Amino acid sequence: MRLGGRVLRLGGLSGLTERLIPQWNRPLPPNNGREQPQNRRSSIKSLLGWPPEQVIRETAWLDGLRGVAAFLVMTYHLHLLLFYGLSLEAPYGATVQNKYNEAAGPERARELWRLPIIRIWMCSGPVQVSIFFVLSGLVLSWSPMESIRTGKQEKLAASLSSAIFRRWFRLYLPCFAVAIWHFFGLRIGLQTDASRERLDGFWEQLWDFLAASERDQFNAVHDYDWTMWTIPFEYSGSLLVFVICLAASRIKMYWKRTLLILTVATYACLRAEWAFWLFVTGVLLSNYIRHNGGFEALSRTQSRQSTAAWSIVMICSLFLVGYPSTGEEYDRPGYEWMTFLIPSNWMPIEEGARLWWCWAGILFVVSASHLRFVRKLFELSFPRYLGRVSYMLYLTHRSVLAVVCKPLKKALFAASGRGRFLDYGKDRGTLHHDVTTLCVYILIFMVIVPLAIVVAHACEVLIDRPSVRFAKRIDEWIVQGRRPEQGSSGQSGAAMSDEAVPLTADIELTETTEELKDRDRPGLV
């Protein structure tokens, strides 16, 4: 410990604290003690990770899309907490029977945010899971598909072997860290989203926690943090992607590879295996884009007619992104006819809504792959920054909602005359009610969202990155029979700096260290 230094060093944690905590105790800058703008930017980057690196790769927009998807999941859960959740997804013009205020009778939903496409901001959370899975299938197969296309069998075998080994660590170590926080939060009486009861004994509670951590596709919800329900699907889907890449590894002809992958995707769709369908569709898209020379080459070949056609597909996907789930408290004008198009074996899955949510995710990613102007939006700094912290934002945002948002909501609702829900006050239907609702919403949003992003960045530095590096070290140690040396060239992923860790960790999973160094060098696409 050195109090006179630039940071407080505590053993092996010093490297982590330097990345998170601005270096306040440093010599004054020459400008009369005023901090230079560059120094302020360095402090902000240490604390928030902002701005992101300016290395723009061809796949950078995938990071941005995943970041925006995670952001919309967070806002969806925030809206469920603030507004009357049972009617949140009711479309514009729906007749809503509010059980919270039955005396008022049925009401017409006339809020403008309930209109198609606009409603994406408020209630598109379920569709973002579909986007996650399509993106995972695409990026996990991105490098293997190039190896298959160029005939690099040895490289493909090595990368798939390593990726399969490391995938469990990459997904579940961060989950365990976040879930253990909920465990201790429940033990000390802190408000969390855990649905389990606090037990008398510590070891009894620990055993209950371990039992809750045993999950599969039939029991995917983790009772200490139910946001993790997607992770078993993510893991099994990832393994399917690797198996398909291995099965296609000897197929030289593009149309034969396409036929193989399309057959698996079609079978999964017909069997209503929705997660597998999304993952394999991502592989199919990766195979198609690689064959056409990449995203930029694909866009250059588009005519005005095809660009217009893909733009229409994009608009259709945005319409489907706002597809409302069925609810006992509201009807769905403009959407009811779509129910009759749902096959019977899809109906048990969220009453068929999951089919349209899958199509929304598929059509959006496929159309965006052809539209340069859409990809450019996701290559902006803020979406890419969200992409960097997306996994931890997804895993930790409910902790912020439970610990901070619920007490803040209680205080502001009491001050503004609200009961349990922001959209139901005593003066509902008046201009004063609408203005107050908007002001309270903006205030809560401006407090909770930045805080959730800061927490996600901290967890990305302290949990997510170390998990990726730990998995790589274990893999290399097992393969090489010894712990990799820090200075070894082209062998140890641990020797990479934090800045070299790619934003899309899934692409990193199937690339060698040398490829990562080349790809992340500034100026390369």
Residue 18 counted as domain residue: yes
How many domains in the chain?
Answer: 2
Measuring CA to CA, how many Å separate 340 from each of 93, 127, 351, 353, 503? Answer: 20, 20, 11, 11, 41
Structure confidence at residue 32 (pLDDT): 47
**Which distant-in-sequence residues (6+ apart) come within 8 Å of 418 by Cβ?**
412, 424, 425, 440
Residue 401 counted as domain residue: no
Place of tokens 């803020």: 382
> Of 377, 406, 433, which one is at a domain's C-terminal end?
377
Report the distance separating Cα 501 and Cα 469, nearest Å. 9
Structure confidence at residue 222 (pLDDT): 65
Residue 478 counted as domain residue: no
The model's pTM is: 0.83
Structure confidence at residue 279 (pLDDT): 98
> Of 377, 396, 420, which one is at a domain's C-terminal end?
377
Structure confidence at residue 122 (pLDDT): 94
Report the distance separating Cα 514 and Cα 120, nearest Å. 40
Residue 466 counted as domain residue: no
Residue 322 counted as domain residue: yes
Residues 122 and 217 occupy one common structural domain: yes
List beta partners, residue 96. Answer: 107, 330
Each residue's pLDDT expressed in tens, for the chain with a length of 525 residues? 443 433 333 344 444 444 554 333 344 444 444 444 555 555 555 556 666 666 568 899 999 999 999 999 999 999 999 998 888 999 999 988 877 666 667 888 888 999 999 999 999 999 999 999 999 999 999 999 999 999 898 889 999 999 999 999 999 999 888 888 877 777 776 666 656 666 677 777 777 777 777 766 666 666 667 788 899 899 999 999 999 999 999 999 999 999 999 999 999 999 999 999 999 999 999 999 999 999 999 988 889 999 999 999 999 999 999 999 988 889 999 899 999 999 999 999 999 999 999 999 999 999 999 999 999 999 999 999 999 999 999 999 998 998 899 999 999 998 988 888 888 777 777 888 889 999 999 999 999 999 999 999 999 999 999 999 999 999 888 887 655 444 433 333 333 333 333 334 454 454 544 444 433 332 222
Residues 105 and 12 occupy one common structural domain: no
Side-chain half-sphere exposure of 296, counting CA atoms within 13 A: 7
Structure confidence at residue 38 (pLDDT): 56
Within 288-420, strands assigned E span none
Q: Is 152 left (phi over 0), alpha (psi -120 to 50) or beta?
A: beta
Task: Calculate the CA 245 to chain-centre distance.
Answer: 24
Residues 8 and 141 occupy one common structural domain: no
Residues 251 and 351 occupy one common structural domain: yes
Structure confidence at residue 254 (pLDDT): 95
Residues 22 and 109 occupy one common structural domain: no
Residues 110 and 19 occupy one common structural domain: no
pLDDT digits (tens, 9 = 90+) for 169-216: 999 999 888 888 877 777 776 666 656 666 677 777 777 777 777 766
* Enclosing domain of residue 7: 1-29+37-45
Residues 16 and 139 occupy one common structural domain: no
Residue 90 counted as domain residue: no
Residue 426 counted as domain residue: no
Residues 177 and 271 occupy one common structural domain: yes
Residue 395 counted as domain residue: no
Structure confidence at residue 328 (pLDDT): 83
